[in-house]
Amino acid sequence: MKAGRWRANAATMSVDIATVAKIASLARIRMSEDELARMAPELNKILTFVDQLEEVDTSAVEPMTAVIPNTLRLRDDVVDADPLTGGGIRDQVLANAPAPEHGFFGVPKVIE
């Protein structure tokens, strides 16, 4: 992108007091006239900064899903046969289920 482009966009995207009042109303935020007058230039600075970000060339940057390398730590899915630690008692657990089906908890259909 060409240098100086953000200045032209910032001018077309300027926020006035009426716009700030409309945004505050939509957000259900009560603001005094003084607060509205102080907020308009602040929002304009933010928009100018965001527009500046468009100048950054990211064509050589690989898309990322996270900032740091991330791998899942997986373990084997093994049922513990010791009933004191929670495994091997499926039939006893399902005995408490209101509607067991094929060795699983039966639940009512919620999506039609």
Which among 96, 92, 94 has a CA at the least distance from the CA of 84? 92
Residue 13 covered by a domain: yes
Residue 15 covered by a domain: yes
The CATH number that applies at residue 21 is 1.10.20
Residue 72 covered by a domain: no
Residue 84 covered by a domain: no
Which among 3, 17, 15 has a CA at the least distance from the CA of 54? 3
Band of pLDDT at residue 4, cut at 50, 70 and 90: very low
Whole-prediction pTM: 0.45
Residue 102 covered by a domain: no
Residue 14 covered by a domain: yes
pLDDT 10s digits, 10-55? 445 689 999 999 999 999 999 999 999 999 999 999 999 988 888 8
Give the pLDDT score at 83. Answer: 62
Which residues fall within 8 angstroms of residue 88, CB to CB, at 6 or more apart?
Answer: 79, 80, 81, 82
Q: How many domains does the chain have?
A: 1
Residue 65 covered by a domain: no
Question: Which residue range forms the structural domain that includes residue 30?
Answer: 5-53
Band of pLDDT at residue 86, cut at 50, 70 and 90: low
